[in-house]
Amino acid sequence: MRALLQRVSRASVSVDGALIGEIGAGLLILVCAMQGDGDDKPAQLAAKIGKLRIFKDDEGRMNRSLRDVGGAALVVSQFTLAADTSRGNRPGFSTAAPPDEGRRLYEAFAQAMRDEGFPVATGEFGADMAVSLVNDGPVTIWLEV
Would residue 78 show up in a list of annotated catalytic residues for this protein? yes
pLDDT of 63 reads 97
**Measured between alpha carbons, how far apart are the two ends of the chain, in Å?**
6
Write down the catalytic residue from 35, 80, 93, 140. Answer: 80
pLDDT of 101 reads 97
Would residue 80 show up in a list of annotated catalytic residues for this protein? yes
Q: How many domains does the chain have?
A: 1
- Name the pTM for this structure: 0.96
Domain with residue 61: its CATH number is 3.50.80.10
In a domain, 75, yes or no: yes
Domain of residue 61: give its range. 2-136
In a domain, 31, yes or no: yes
pLDDT in tens, 88-109: 999 999 999 999 999 999 999 9
In a domain, 27, yes or no: yes
In a domain, 143, yes or no: no
pLDDT of 60 reads 94
In a domain, 85, yes or no: yes
54 — alpha (psi -120 to 50), left (phi > 0) or beta?
alpha
Would residue 55 show up in a list of annotated catalytic residues for this protein? no
In a domain, 145, yes or no: no
Write down the catalytic residue from 79, 109, 118, 122. Answer: 79
**Cα separation of 85 and 89, whole Å?**
7
In a domain, 144, yes or no: no
Surface-to-core class of residue 119, CB atoms within 10 Å of its CB (0-12 exposed, 13-18 middle, 19+ buried): middle
**Cα separation of 35 and 48, whole Å?**
20
pLDDT in tens, 52-91: 999 999 999 999 999 999 999 999 999 999 999 999 999 9
Write down the catalytic residue from 6, 78, 109, 122. Answer: 78
In a domain, 109, yes or no: yes
